[in-house]
Amino acid sequence: MACFAHVQPHVGLVQTPQRPAGGLAVWQRPPRRCQTSSRAVLAVLAAGLGGRGSKQILVLSRSSVDSSKGVKLAERIVSQINEHFVLWLIGVTLLAIAFPETFVWVKPEWFTWLLGLLMFSVGLTTSVEDFRSSMKSWLAVVINSCACFMIMPALAYFLALLIKANAPTLAGLVLIGSINGGHTSNLCTLIAGGDVALSVLMTMSTTLLCIVATPLIAQRILGTVVSVDAIGIVLSTVKVVLAPTIFGLAFKQWLPNASSRAAKFTPVLGVVATCIIVGSSVASCQSYILSAGLSLQLAVLCLHIFGGC
């Protein structure tokens, strides 16, 4: 069978270690290695097709190189967008405070779809095996839940006392510290190259646990009962976390080649979705943020900085 190979000018002779009964050494030529290269194939095809075929193959070769360069450029741009995620959030927040009308077009009912898009991008980069492996780290999930519903509320209460907050402000800080983990943590874990499956499990566990934990904390610390829509939280968890993640896993299972290429760009969808949600949320309560005062702003900032460490 013919093959495209790099022809050597001189082919040496090698001696085999076997000798026949007569004692004479047997000399053989080494087997020719077939080293096919894309350029060699294109060159042979061009020679066989003539001048016109040569031009067509040259165009195909150049377009293939240009396409490869375009993909690499897009990957670099996506990487830069992902790496500066925090800066985009800060910029969107400042823009929403300065010009809240910028985000008035975003409707609250879109949040479910935007969060679902975020979780789809997360699910597309994981696998069923990742979740099976993460389930073995049940102790990490327990520690995360304890930190979410013990350390965070206590820290919020301490900060409220530190700034001498009034009763409504104290209640607000404690409730902020008593809620479940957010979906943005999954995206941050994905961008940072962490255990995404474990992050999703932590988000789901705290989301379901807050049905019981948040009212209990409010009753113990604030002396009041906070009503929680348990059915609504479960349905929201299914729609926002479970279904999009499973859809991403299924897409990766059925179309592995397409999903592996798409996975390089899907984190940008999560970044864009999160920025839209943050911008809309800040714009809707811009007046309250400006009137809150510096002490409360610093307390909330410290709650998230020290609580997230």
- The per-residue pLDDT for range 208-258, each reduced to its tens digit, is 898 888 888 888 887 776 777 778 888 888 888 888 888 888 888 888 888
CA distance 177 to 200: 20
Specify whether the CB–CB gap between 112 and 239 falls below 8 A.
Answer: yes
pLDDT tens digits along 184-215: 888 888 888 888 889 989 988 898 898 888 88
Specify whether the CB–CB gap between 102 and 283 falls below 8 A.
Answer: yes
pLDDT bin (cut points 50, 70, 90) of residue 9 is very low
Does some domain include residue 79?
no
Please compute the mean of the pLDDT values over residues 67-83 and round it to a whole number.
79
Cα 169–Cα 218–Cα 187 angle in degrees, nearest 5: 80
Q: Which residue has the higher pLDDT, 63 or 161?
A: 161
| Distances 55 to 48, 66, 233 between C-alpha atoms, Å | 12, 16, 63
Does some domain include residue 60?
no
Does some domain include residue 14?
no
Q: Which residues contact 157 (CB under 8 A, 6 or more apart)?
A: 170, 173, 174, 177, 221
Of the candidates 29, 3, 36, which has an alpha carbon nearest to the alpha carbon of residue 14? 29
CATH of the domain at 249: 1.20.1530.20
CA distance 156 to 148: 11
Does some domain include residue 220?
yes
Does some domain include residue 173?
yes
Domain membership of residue 104 as a residue range: 84-307
Does some domain include residue 66?
no
Long-range contacts of 209-217 (CB under 8 A, 24+ apart): 209/145, 209/148, 209/149, 209/180, 210/149, 210/178, 210/179, 210/180, 213/149, 213/178, 214/149, 214/175, 214/178, 214/179, 214/180, 217/149, 217/153, 217/174, 217/178
Tally the domains of the chain. Answer: 1
The structure tokens 């150049």 sit at 62
pLDDT at 36: 45
Q: Which residue has the higher pLDDT, 247 or 2?
A: 247
Rounded mean pLDDT of the chain? 77
pLDDT bin (cut points 50, 70, 90) of residue 62 is low
| pTM listed for this prediction | 0.68
Helix (DSSP H) and strand (DSSP E) numbers for the chain = 15, 2
Q: Which residue has the higher pLDDT, 141 or 123?
A: 141
Please compute the mean of the pLDDT values over residues 154-163 and round it to a whole number.
92
CA distance 230 to 234: 6
pLDDT at 276: 92
Does some domain include residue 39?
no
Q: In this model, does residue 4 exceed pLDDT 60?
A: no
For residues 223-258, one letter each, b for 16 or more C-beta atoms within 10 angstroms of the residue's C-beta and e for the rest, the string is: eeeeeeeeeebeebbeebbbebbeebbebbeeeeee
The structure tokens 């002396």 sit at 223
Does some domain include residue 13?
no
